[in-house]
Structure 1
Amino acid sequence: MEGARPTPPCDPRAPRPPQLRGIKMLPLRRAPCRRCAVVSSSGQMLGSHLGREIDGQECVLRMNHAPTAGFEEDVGTRSTVRVVSHTSVPLLLRNQPYFFQQSRDTIYVIWGPSRKMSREKGGPTYRALLRVLEMYPRLQLYTLTEEKMAYCDDVFQNETGKNRVKSGSFLSTGWFTMILAMELCEHICVFGMVSDSYCREKNHSSVPYHYFEKGRLDECRMYLVHERAPRAGHRFITEKAIFSRWAKRKDIIFSHPSWAGG
């Protein structure tokens, strides 16, 4: 149409998200969010000035204990869904006013192995979450079912041809977040995630593994160490190659750095 300007792919003008229901029973049958931001915890976010663009998405997904306070200009302020590893739950508990009082609208999705998360087995993470709910009864807190955890393992095996356990691999929180995003969102814009080939490029930038831990671990060094680990390694680079393939059949784009999936 003459005079009409196309909406930037990661700058939608959309209403606030609806309440998500039944997240424990994933996969959902419909996408409650039309346009989503998946915000990486990578040091790539530093200096990005993407905060306003991220907050403009209908739903914003974050990972583990990545803060927004002090980094609002680069990562935004809103958190619709926060996907958290069982290993990061203690880090949230150290700062309960920030995560559980100020972020009342955030939906927390906790993942972890049955021995940590099982109600029947009295898993320690499950018990800790019960205590959190006693203190903050209005908190929106969910855990992934054992069936959903097995499904995420199956997806890894289908994509790589390798059994996750036998190959000594640990899935990352990013893996669970991307699977969840594909079930919740129609359009996904991933901020701050590098491609699987990025760390092999001669002139790649050196950034912290986490944007909120400056001067700590180098991102690419961490990725390469984990990728080569014979056991107990997150396959970050393999996962990013898979995300790239998913972008061919799902509406996913990668921003800052921008790269094409496929």
Structure 2
Amino acid sequence: MAACPLQLDCGHCAIVSNSGQMAGQKVGEEIDHSSCIWRMNNAPTKGFEEDVGHVTMVRVVSHTSVPLLLKNPDYFFKEASATVYVVWGPFRNMRKDGNGIVYNMLKKTVDKYPSAQIYVTTEQRMSYCDAVFKEETGKDRVQSGSYLSTGWFTFILAMDACYSIHVYGMINDTYCKTEGYRKVPYHYYEQGKDECNEYLVHEHAPHGGHRFITEKKVFAKWAEKHRIVFTHPNWTVS
């Protein structure tokens, strides 16, 4: 694992959502022209290049998605060795004393793929992301029984690293209430769960859910102060 702190200096960034909204958008070439391209978890590019592009510079990964990457380690850590991986998760999984189950998996991965660039979030960074959630929503993440999404961590990292951000394929907080909205799968790379159903289930889950809709409200607020645009679908940030 990388021993030094991650330093990224990006100009114009593209954050590519895993949403089914990306299917059929044909913006792959446009995305690949960005100076830094951010993807999340195990979202593949192979077979989807026309819609999502094929370059990945930073991949932000949840501790729960690490086993999904390890199903295809040659692709993620050998072919994509130029990609920087930032893995986030709770201290119990990321601890370095031999008891961090996810940290141990990553350590083995680096032993096997020495050129893999893997960073893990510190406990301080995790607490900072929680504090930002509380500041922006007035809710304590732990008390409200929720988990931050990988999108949340990606946004916070990208706002530090990027001069401007173009977000592709992310819906806003009112999208699922709009008349005649486009129904899509939760992920562009797998059939199944409906995106809006999934968002509503998570938003109201008493524990263990992501507050996707609440997070989108916060992202809209950030877009008023930072250079952030949302397309496919387009948001108008008032």
Deviations 1:180-218 (A, max 9, x none): 11011010000000110000112111100000012x000
Is the CA contact 2:42–2:69 (under 8 Å) kept in the aligned structure 1?
yes
Is the CA contact 1:243–1:261 (under 8 Å) kept in the aligned structure 2?
no
- Letter matched to residue 86 of structure 2: V
Q: Report what 1:245 is aligned to.
A: 221
Question: Per the alignment, do residues 161 and 121 of structure 1 end up closer, same or farther by CA in structure 2, a change over 3 Å counting?
Answer: farther
Given the alignment of the two structures, is residue 22 of structure 1 paired with residue 8 of structure 2, yes or no? no
Q: Report what 2:34 is aligned to.
A: 57
- What is the CA-CA distance between 1:97 and the residue it aligns to? 1.2
Structure 1 segments of 4 or more deviating over 4 A?
none
Q: Report what 2:209 is aligned to.
A: 233
TM-score by length of 2: 0.97
SS at match of 2:193: coil
Identity of aligned residues (%): 54
Comparing 196-205 with 117-126, greater Cα deviation is found at 117-126
Q: Report what 2:148 is aligned to.
A: 171
Q: Report what 2:91 is aligned to.
A: 114
Compare the two structures and name the one with the higher strand fraction.
2
Given the alignment of the two structures, is residue 73 of structure 1 paired with residue 50 of structure 2, yes or no? yes
Output the CA distance in 1 between the equivalents of 2:196 and 2:34: 28
- What is the CA-CA distance between 1:120 and the residue it aligns to? 2.6
Given the alignment of the two structures, is residue 193 of structure 1 paired with residue 176 of structure 2, yes or no? no
Q: Report what 2:195 is aligned to.
A: 219
Output the CA distance in 1 between the equivalents of 2:152 and 2:127: 13
Output the CA distance in 2 between the equivalents of 1:59 and 1:243: 19
- Letter matched to residue 208 of structure 2: A
Is the CA contact 1:246–1:261 (under 8 Å) kept in the aligned structure 2?
no
The unaligned stretches of length 5 or more in structure 1 are 1-20
Output the CA distance in 2 between the equivalents of 1:57 and 1:101: 23
SS at match of 1:116: helix
Output the CA distance in 1 between the equivalents of 2:68 and 2:164: 30
Given the alignment of the two structures, is residue 99 of structure 1 paired with residue 60 of structure 2, yes or no? no
Is the CA contact 1:36–1:187 (under 8 Å) kept in the aligned structure 2?
yes
Is the CA contact 2:147–2:210 (under 8 Å) kept in the aligned structure 1?
yes
Is the CA contact 1:33–1:186 (under 8 Å) kept in the aligned structure 2?
yes
